[in-house]
């Protein structure tokens, strides 16, 4: 029986579901993924994830489709990205088959929590990887835990596909040029919390970060990649060594190209902001969040209407959501069944 949840009113908040899945790495090998109902986990107080930040995560979504089947959006890409993150943080990554098996096991055991078709909600899947060996010298753990949680979610920014105001946060950098901004290290989010919080206190739900070396180019938002649509309908997104390679962004670039749009991945300077007719923040949680204004160094740049997303971002949003909800032909084979 489906849970009694007001699916349409869901935000992006933690919720405990029936179970989670855990796999452990010891003596050079991964064990089988196990279903667990206990959300508490015994952890050595010396664990490398606690002291030295050997912690990484992923985020992906599963959807109930129009034909009532469940589809997961591009999970192989998340498995690959977790492997890249793990390599950068000198951690052991779960092999792709284990990653996928764990997610499937989790979803089939939490079917009552998968939002029904037509509610606009989805099941957020959160894989987590942590180093668990006690270390006091700075060195990689020998033991790892890979856990996957899930919960039903609605929009990350409360009004969903509705324009928000962004703030260019220059007081703090989020990621160094050759640091770990291009991987999904948990510490990146701690590094961004102060900037995001100060932005929120000024009334901006989302902060935009610049390249930390020169503060002249756009990197990304704290939770999502930057997309600019030019007045002549090009799709422009930053090329930077400190930006997370977003699976949503890659998919939207493909969709934009399918629509016949020119796609540019390159450095984007702050000075170019007035050349965009639409700006979007994109990611698994954010999907596409239209940005109505960007406040930077006392100037306010506005894009489109305050209360309505622009035409191009609307078209891209409908297409990606249409594929995810099984309403539009999945011509690129992005959806995986459970």
In the complex, which residues of this chain contact ligand COI (CB under 6 A)? 59, 223, 283-285
Minimum gap (Å) between residue 179 Cβ and ligand PLP = 13
Q: Is 224 near ligand PLP (CB under 6 A)? A: yes
Minimum gap (Å) between residue 311 Cβ and ligand PLP = 22
**Nearer CB in complex with ligand COI: 140/245:** 245
Measuring CA to CA, which residue among 302, 336, 324 is closest to residue 66?
A: 324
Using the contact rule CB under 6 A, the part of the chain among 86-94, 133-141, 217-225, 257-265 near ligand PLP is 217-225
Site string for ligand PLP, 44-63 (x = CB under 6 A): ---------------x----
Minimum gap (Å) between residue 243 Cβ and ligand PLP = 7
Using the contact rule CB under 6 A, the part of the chain among 23-31, 125-133, 141-149, 241-249 near ligand PLP is 241-249
Minimum gap (Å) between residue 283 Cβ and ligand COI = 4
Q: Is 220 near ligand PLP (CB under 6 A)? A: yes
- Residue 331 and residue 106: Cα distance in Å, rounded? 27
**Nearer CB in complex with ligand COI: 152/304:** 152
Out of 102, 247, 291, 316, the only residue in the binding site for ligand PLP (CB under 6 A) is: 247
**Nearer CB in complex with ligand COI: 168/207:** 207
What's phi and psi for 41, nearest 5 deg?
-135, 125
Using the contact rule CB under 6 A, the part of the chain among 48-56, 62-70, 223-231, 306-314 near ligand PLP is 223-231
Burial code of 282-314, b = ≥16 C-beta within 10 A, e = fewer? Answer: bbbbbbbbbbbbbbbeeeebebbeeeebbebbe
Residue nearest ligand COI, CB atom distance: 59
Minimum gap (Å) between residue 84 Cβ and ligand PLP = 12
**Nearer CB in complex with ligand COI: 61/292:** 61
Residues 6+ apart with CB under 8 A from 285: 12, 59, 124, 153, 156, 223, 224
Minimum gap (Å) between residue 22 Cβ and ligand PLP = 22
Minimum gap (Å) between residue 239 Cβ and ligand COI = 20
Residue nearest ligand PLP, CB atom distance: 283
Residues 6+ apart with CB under 8 A from 218: 208, 210, 211, 226, 238, 268, 269, 270
Site string for ligand PLP, 158-197 (x = CB under 6 A): ----------------------------------------
Q: Which does 244 bind (CB under 5 to 8 A by kind): ligand COI, ligand PLP, none?
A: ligand PLP
Q: Which residues make up the interface to ligand PLP (CB under 6 A)?
A: 59, 220, 223-225, 244, 246-249, 283-284
């Amino acid at each position: 029986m489906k849970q009694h949840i007001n699916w349409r009113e869901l935000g992006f908040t933690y919720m405990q579901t029936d179970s989670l899945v855990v796999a452990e790495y010891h003596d050079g090998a991964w064990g089988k993924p196990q279903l667990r109902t206990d959300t508490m986990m015994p952890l050595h107080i010396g664990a490398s994830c606690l002291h030295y930040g050997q912690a990484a995560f992923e985020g992906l979504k599963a959807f109930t489709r129009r034909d009532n089947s469940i589809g997961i959006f591009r999970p192989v890409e998340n498995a690959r990205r977790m492997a890249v993150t793990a390599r950068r943080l000198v951690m052991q990554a779960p092999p792709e088959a284990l990653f996928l098996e764990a997610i499937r096991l989790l979803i089939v055991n939490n079917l009552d929590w998968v939002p029904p078709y037509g509610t606009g909600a989805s099941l957020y899947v959160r894989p987590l990887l942590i180093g668990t060996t006690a270390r006091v010298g700075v060195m990689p753990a020998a033991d790892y835990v890979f856990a996957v949680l899930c919960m039903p979610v609605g929009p990350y920014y409360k009004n969903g596909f509705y324009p928000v105001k962004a703030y260019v946060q220059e007081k703090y950098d989020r990621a160094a040029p050759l640091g770990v901004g291009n991987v999904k290290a948990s510490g990146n989010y701690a590094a961004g919390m102060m900037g995001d919080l100060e932005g929120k206190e000024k009334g901006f739900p989302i902060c935009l970060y610049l390249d930390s070396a020169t503060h002249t180019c756009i990197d990304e938002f704290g939770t999502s990649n930057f997309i600019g649509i030019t007045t002549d309908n090009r799709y422009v997104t930053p090329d930077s060594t400190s930006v997370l390679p977003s699976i949503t962004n890659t998919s939207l670039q493909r969709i934009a190209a399918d629509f016949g749009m020119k796609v540019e991945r390159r450095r984007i300077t702050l000075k170019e902001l007035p050349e965009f007719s639409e700006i979007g923040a994109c990611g698994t949680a954010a999907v596409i969040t239209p940005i109505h204004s960007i406040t930077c160094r006392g100037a306010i740049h506005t894009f489109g209407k305050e209360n309505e997303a622009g035409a191009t971002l609307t078209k891209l949003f409908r297409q990606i959501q249409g594929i995810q909800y099984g309403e539009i032909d999945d011509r690129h084979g992005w959806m995986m069944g459970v």
